[in-house]
Amino acid sequence: MDIPSLVISAMLGGVISWWLTKYYYIKSNNELESSLKKMTRNLSSLDTLEEFECLLSQSEWDKNHEGSEPVFVCKAKPTFQFDMRGEREDFYEDWMKVLPDKNGKAFDLNLKINGTIIKTMRFVSADGGRYTVPLPEVYLSNKKQAFAWRKNTLAYKVASVIDNFYRCNSLDEVGKFVGIDVFTEQRPV
């Protein structure tokens, strides 16, 4: 083999090698970019507390019984559930004095995604179990103790799904009946 053929072969081999490297580099880059976009989409659709809160307002929920306590299951996403299991403690606050049965029970309500507790909230079973409501906030109004629930909160939405208000049609009506203020935003100072 003479020197000019050797030089031409080396140059041709170098160009082909460069072209193949660039082709696979671009292909690999495009696949990586596509894979990254797919993973980002999957990450943004992860099950979150925010999604749980949206589902409380926008989806239907089934009430199932596992043992003596109900478990609420989202029809749209059955991995989203909440239950009222656990210890029940005797409970009384002044707002309960208008109820025929003044004895209440406080308990933890657990929000779960895929069986994992993501949030625990305190609820009250009042009037012998006729009402299931979130534990109200306590605040001072004209130097007197007052109680409040805030709409658009997670606890308010959970109570609306439970829908255990005896003769009342909503948590707002329960509030009026027992003297608990219901605020749309922050309570007045």
Question: What's the rounded mean pLDDT across residues 160-171?
Answer: 94
Residue 171 has pLDDT above 90, yes or no: yes
Could you give the angle at the alpha carbon of 118 between the alpha carbons of 74 and 137, nearest 5°?
A: 95
Phi, psi values for residue 72, rounded to 5°? -100, 130
Q: The tokens of 57 are what?
A: 């307002």
Cβ atoms of residues 136 and 148 within 8 Å:
yes
Q: What is the pLDDT, as a whole number, of residue 148?
A: 96
pTM here? 0.73
pLDDT single digits (tens) 26-82? 877 788 787 777 766 655 556 789 999 999 999 999 999 877 789 999 999 999 999
Q: Which pLDDT score, from 0 to 100, does residue 40 have?
A: 65
Q: How far apart are CA 91 and CA 78, in angstroms?
A: 32
Q: Can you give the pLDDT at residue 60?
A: 96
- Tell me what the pLDDT averaged over the chain comes to: 88
Over residues 78-103, the pLDDT tens digits come to: 999 999 888 999 999 999 999 999 98
